Chains A and B, each alone.
Chain A
Amino acid sequence: MSGFMEKSNRRKYFLEKLSGKLFLICAFISVISLALIISFVFFKGFRPFVAEGYNFIQFLLGYDWVPGEGHFGVFPMIVTSLYATIGALIIGVPIGLFTAVFLAEIAPKPIVKILSPAVQLLAGIPSVLFGVFGLAVIVPFLQNYLGLAKGQSLIAVIIVLAIMMLPTIVTVSETAIRSVPQSYREGSLALGVSEMRTIFKVVIPAAKSGIMAAIVLGMGRAIGETMAVILVAGNSLMIPTSLTDSVRPLTTNIALEMGYAAGIHQEMLFATGIVLFSFILILNFILAKISAKGGQ
């Protein structure tokens, strides 16, 4: 009897160890993928600067992008990406935050039951459909009603990105607002402070770190968005001087040209990817800081 027990126990221990290893391998797959992507992009992207004598500063600050003549400057695209993201934040953050406040604090339950899933569904719409919507609705609207010569413009990009970041901002800040202890609200209301002032003076400040995280996540979404932007940006290579200019952000530059690029041109597109990746990395770093602060 005891011999049998020992044998079956040995098998159990073996399975334990084996499954442990299996999970470890699974966990490593994502880390390995990340490492591979980063090293690949950086290897390809840095090669022209290391081996071919191109100047990285000139690449970052150069105005001209003419692959045929060997001019690779991404400054207009960096500026465009920043403008588009900041513009989207200016529109998307107030709308998203007020929606979150409404859902978490004000709206009666039946309305929340309709609105909340609707906002979450907005997050699940494939990005190309946002682009199609922008192209079919926003761009003609800008042309016909605001008199733009060409509707594909910075403002179209900003509007589409603002809509796309809404679900992130709404859901994350709604969660943050809901997690503010009820006792804070009671404390304020019991002092004879109105509900709206309680929300803005106590609840939102208490949810500050969660709301900041929501904004940073929304920014990440906006700066990395490609498909929807291609359709409405117009893709002209210039530093935008007004909201109505046709623009090309970093992401669409890669997507538009990667298909036919070769040699240095292709490597320069990887270098564009490095710039984009750095932006996302900085945002993630900020996010981690905010979360750590919020957790205290």
Chain B
Amino acid sequence: MKTAVQLPKNNSFQPQNNKNAKISVHNFNLFYGEKQALFDISLDINEKEITALIGPSGCGKSTFLRSINRMNDLIDNVKVSGEIFIDNENIYRSNDVIKLRTKVGMVFQKPNLFPMSIYDNVAYGPRMHGIKNKKVLNHIVEESLRGAAIWDEVKDRLKSSALGLSGGQQQRVCIARAIAMKPEVILMDEPTSALDPISTLKVEELLSQMKENYTIVIVTHNMQQAARVSDRTAFFLNGEVIEYDTTDTIFSVPKDKRTEEYITGRFG
């Protein structure tokens, strides 16, 4: 029922065809001009789980993440082939990126709050999608900030500039801003790489809570982080998925030698 698309026989990596799959990727290739950046990616990402994408710099994990909400569309000369399904809908068939990005939120590597107040940052998305009622907005802002575990820290200064917050606080407001759109999937591109260890810990705790409501895909450089927070892990190398399995398996009994070498710190 789930996958209408037949997988080619020569595909070495078989998706799990799990019924919980929220995102299903089939033979996905991506090119920057002539240069191929992603090779034949196929994997299923489960609903309400945290899926970590790990691998050395330049391995394509961020590029893949940005393919899921089509942020790569912003770059000139990007071509893709293959399919990415979200809830059985091919996101590259429809051109409604607005609908896609409403459903698939994103948190970036560096906090990128707008130069506005905390309140306006969180209310920005809902406002742009036509919500004007003050009470409704107030409710969304509070709910989102609570959801990002930052409400208590900012509730008395909602009207002051968001850029006055610490990096860790800003990143959690970024998460609140993404939550405010009530997405189903949240993509995180190394969300803690610019944060100190304490802020990182807070964000990681938050991730575990958020997984009850959202499907989360997180790119991380930090293998301990992947091991701590994620349910499944995909190991990327040179634009390919080398191994994709439950995090426990990847970190305890990796099947591929390259995965083992990477997670034991022999390269990357």
> Using a CB–CB distance below 8 Å, which chain A residues touch chain B?
181, 183-194, 197, 201-202, 205-206
Contact = CB atoms under 8 A, between A and B. Distances in A.
Interface stretch (B47-55, B97-105, B243-251): B97-105
A191 B112 contact: no
A206 B177 CA distance: 18
Contacts of A188: 114, 124, 128
A192 B124 CA distance: 11
Given A183-B108, A186-B108, A187-B108, A192 B114 contact: no
A130 B216 CA distance: 60
Interface string B116-151: 100000001100110000000000000000000000
Given A191-B178, A193-B125, A201-B128, A206 B115 contact: yes
Interface residues of B, number: 27
Interface of B: 69, 71, 74, 97-103, 105-106, 108, 110, 112-116, 124-125, 128-129, 174, 177-178, 181
Contacts of A181: 112
Contact of B101 (A183, A189, A197, A206): A189
Contacts of B102: 191-192
A201 B128 CA distance: 9
B114 A202 contact: yes
Contacts of B99: 192
Contact of A191 (B74, B115, B116, B177): B177
A186 B110 CA distance: 11
A191 B114 contact: no
B129 A190 contact: no
Contacts of A205: 114-116
Nearest to A109: B76
Nearest to B73: A189
A296 B125 CA distance: 26
25 contacts: A181-B112, A183-B110, A183-B112, A184-B115, A185-B74, A186-B108, A187-B108, A188-B128, A189-B71, A189-B101, A190-B71, A190-B101, A190-B106, A191-B101, A191-B102, A191-B177, A192-B97, A192-B100, A192-B101, A192-B103, A192-B129, A193-B128, A201-B124, A205-B114, A206-B115
Nearest to B101: A192
A280 B25 CA distance: 62
Nearest to A180: B115
B71 A187 contact: no
Contact of A186 (B112, B113, B177): B112
Nearest to A206: B115
B125 to A, nearest CB: 4
A215 to B, nearest CB: 20
Contacts of B106: 186, 190
Given A183-B110, A184-B112, A190 B124 contact: no
A197 B110 contact: no
Given A186-B71, A197-B128, A192 B115 contact: no
Contacts of B113: 187
Contacts of B112: 181, 183-184, 186-187
Nearest to B128: A193
A187 B69 contact: no
A205 B219 CA distance: 31
Contacts of B97: 192
B217 to A, nearest CB: 13
B60 to A, nearest CB: 18
A186 B101 contact: no
Contact of B114 (A187, A189, A197): A187
Given A189-B71, A201-B124, A206-B115, 16 more contacts: A184-B112, A185-B74, A187-B108, A187-B112, A187-B114, A190-B105, A191-B101, A192-B97, A192-B99, A192-B102, A192-B181, A193-B125, A194-B98, A197-B128, A201-B128, A205-B114
A184 B113 CA distance: 7
